[in-house]
Amino acid sequence: MSAVLTFHDVRMRFGDRCAVDGVSFEVNRGEVVGLLGPNGSGKSTTIAAAAGVLEPCSGSVRIAGRSRRDDPAAYALCVGLLPQECALYDELTAAENLMFFGKLYGLSGKELRRRTVRALARFGLGDRAGHRVGTLSCGLKQRVNLAVALLHDPPLLLLDEPTAALDAASRDRLFIDLGRLRDDGHAILLSTHHWDEAELGCDRVAILERGKLAAIGEPRQLRRRPSDRAILYGHLRARPPRFQVQSLRDRLGSSAEMEVTGRRLRLAATSSEALGRALAQVLSEGFALESYHTPPAAIERALDRAAHPSTAEAA
């Protein structure tokens, strides 16, 4: 397999804080690699460095052997980026957004129109072409977002938490799309902090722990590692307000750890009993679950080490 994206000993600092620390890995053609880790582990920074939005303070990021410094335009043409936030102009229609970003990548005239129509059709947006993006649902926005990232047919696709704002059906649809893109030969790097997503759609998973690469491999290899914590992944019916999440987190205290990203829920506790009690508390607070599952002995050991360094060290 040929490497499309190569990270070599990449370091990235924000002031005194080291966000990415000596990370090296590759993403090959026709491969989906998932960056997995809790909040603050350096996933988004890694994606931004790969996109050329951030410049590493040391190490190198190369696409097809070429760094951004060598030829910024050629580098950028190889990347399709899906940032974490909606990277579209709400005031413009879906088609106008596609046409605008297409022009920035050198597309024009009939070719641009053809690709716009094709991209809209590919993501089931044909009937929404003339709708302003601001009026679309989160799922549809994300599809437009992805259509924009793919319009210029880049060999590398970078997706920063692409499922954060999606419901379960949209998420599944996104992973089907990603599978198709991988089969077309695209190299895909996506970030998530949900193991089930990594397992569902990634060929390899790179686990980041406080900016360092803790492990990388196929999901089935990584899941063989024993876990010393009980984990639950769920999908909420509605996105809860931030204050409600904070209040529940305060009430759970040290007995369980809760993360909510959009409508995605991750609940972790030291034992199955503690996890059951935490789940009961979550439900009693009015958080309605659309679906949930508890992964088998999984990758979570590395993630927990990141979240609870003192516990991990004691263990």
Partner 1 sequence: MRPPLMSLIAALAAKDWRLFWADRRAALLTFAVPIVLASSFGLIFSRHTEARSATRLPIAIVVEDDGPFTQEVAVELLTSPRFEAVAMTREQAEGAIAERRPSVAIVLPRGFEKVKEWRPGSPGERPPVEIRHHPLASAERQWAEGALTEIVMRRLARDKLGDKADLAPPFHIEAAAATGANHAAFNAYTHSFSGMTLQYLLFWGMESGLLFLRERQRGAWTRLQAAPVPLAAILLGKALATAAIALLVVLATFGFGYLAFGVRIHGSHLGFALLALAASGLAAATGLLVAALGDTEARARAVSILVILGVSMLGGLWLPAFLLPGWLRDLALSLPTTWAMRGLDAATWQGRSLLGVLGNAAVVAAFAAVFLALAAARIKAVETRRRKGWV
* 78 versus 269: smaller Cβ distance to partner 1: 78
Q: Is 73 in the site for partner 1 (CB under 8 A)?
A: yes
CA 258/CA 242 separation, integer angstroms: 13
Q: Which H helix or E strand runs over 217?
A: strand 212-217
Q: Is 234 in the site for partner 1 (CB under 8 A)?
A: no
Q: Is 166 in the site for partner 1 (CB under 8 A)?
A: no
Q: Which parts of 184-308 fold into alpha helices (H)?
A: 195-201, 219-223, 242-252, 272-284, 300-307
CB atoms within 10 A of CB 30: 16
Letters for 18-47 (x = contact with partner 1 by CB under 8 A, - = none) are -x----------------------------
Q: What minimum distance in Å lies between the beta carbon of 198 and partner 1?
A: 23
CA-nearest of 182, 197, 101 to 145 is 101
Q: Is 303 in the site for partner 1 (CB under 8 A)?
A: no
Q: Is 260 in the site for partner 1 (CB under 8 A)?
A: no
Distances (CA, A) of 287 to 21, 193, 244: 37, 20, 9
CA 100/CA 125 separation, integer angstroms: 17
Please list, in sequence order, all residues whose beta carbon lies within 8 angstroms of the beta carbon of residue 245, skipping any fewer than 6 positions away. 258, 260
Q: Is 107 in the site for partner 1 (CB under 8 A)?
A: yes
CA 59/CA 46 separation, integer angstroms: 12
Choosing from 8, 131, 132, 239, the residue that interacts with partner 1 (CB under 8 A) is: 132
Letters for 49-68 (x = contact with partner 1 by CB under 8 A, - = none) are --xxxxx-x-----------
* 56 versus 234: smaller Cβ distance to partner 1: 56
Q: Is 83 in the site for partner 1 (CB under 8 A)?
A: yes
List of residues contacting partner 1 (CB under 8 A): 12-15, 19, 48, 51-55, 57, 72-77, 79, 81, 83-89, 91-92, 96, 100-101, 103-108, 132, 148
